[in-house]
Amino acid sequence: MDCLFCKIAAGEIPSNKIYEDDRVLAFHDIDPKAPVHFLVIPKEHIACADEITPENSSIVAHVFAVIAKIAKELDLKGGYRIVNNCGVDGGQTVGHLHFHVLAGRQLAWPPG
């Protein structure tokens, strides 16, 4: 399968890694939209949030636990935003489930 984030998860394409275990990888976004902007992905290929099922949904809980751990390590005391873009109208450009974590400045709400 020709999937950019599967290739990053497999180490075939380099990334600036923050955290890795057997199920997930966290790495800095190549085009950061905030002073802190990293992505957390499941290593398993799941195309988007629409493909979360009772069988695979435990990965989402793990992603959120990893985000909380990284946030403590990066000392994101000011807070942060977790974003998942799903589908064309959601602004998804890479078809492998990923959660953005944005921090380091006051983020506007609602987003555009």
Q: Is 94 in the site for Zn ion (CB under 5 A)?
A: no
Q: Is 85 in the site for ligand 5GP (CB under 6 A)?
A: yes
Q: Please, what sign has the CA dihedral across residues 12, 26, 39, 97?
A: positive
- Annotated catalytic, 98? yes
Among 18, 29, 47, 107, binds ligand 5GP (CB under 6 A): 29
Strands (E) located in 43-91: 80-83
Burial class (CB in 10 A: 0-12, 13-18, 19+), 18: middle
- Per-position x/- string for 48-77, each x denoting binding to Zn ion as judged by CB under 5 A, each - no binding: ------------------------------
Catalytic residue among 37, 45, 62, 98: 98
Which region among 18-26, 50-58, 63-71, 84-92 touches ligand 5GP (by CB under 6 A)? 84-92
Q: Is 53 in the site for ligand 5GP (CB under 6 A)?
A: no
Q: Is the peptide bond before 35 cis (omega within 30 degrees of 0)?
A: no
Cβ pair 36, 104 in contact under 8 A: yes
Catalytic residue numbers read 98
